[in-house]
Amino acid sequence: MHHRQIIRNAAANALVGLVTTGVRVFKSRTEPLDQTLLPCLLVNTDDEDIETITVHQAPILDRDLTLIVRCVAKASTNLDDVLDTMMAEVETAIGGQTLTGLVGALALKSIRINMESEAEKPVGIATMTFLTNYMTVSNNPSVNI
């Protein structure tokens, strides 16, 4: 298992049990947005910038990873309040955390708010982008060093 998957799983597990979303946390960027599953969180790992920091036979790779948490809620008159509450819960749960030492501290980089009208019914989505760092050996991406 790649360390990205371990990080994604740990982040999703840390988000289970929040007041607004409860167990509706999905490790996917394509989970169907069925109204019965809302509000929910979608967690995925995205871009990763990698720098080789040694020249050994199996170089050490310094990896800057983007972790995405999407807060998804039904479009309603209080949509902004619901999304703001969800984002506050996510930030409190994982902002600045190391996911039990799996990564450097998660740093919130940006928040983007969108309306998605292609779902069964319109939804609001707050996309939270977190940056973090970890290192592996080039021939073993499963183990953080």
- Find the domain containing 54 and state its range: 3-137
pLDDT tier for residue 122 given thresholds of 50, 70 and 90:
confident
Contact in structure between 142 and 46 (CB atoms under 8 Å):
no
CA dihedral 69, 16, 101, 53 (to 10 degrees): -20
- Total domains in the fold of the chain: 1
CATH number of 67's domain: 3.30.70.1700
Q: Are 23 and 17 in contact (CB under 8 A)?
A: yes
Rounded to whole angstroms, the Cα distance separating 143 from 145 reads 6
Question: pTM of the full predicted structure?
Answer: 0.93
pLDDT 10s digits, 34-73: 888 999 999 999 999 999 998 778 899 999 999 999 999 9
In a domain, 143, yes or no: no
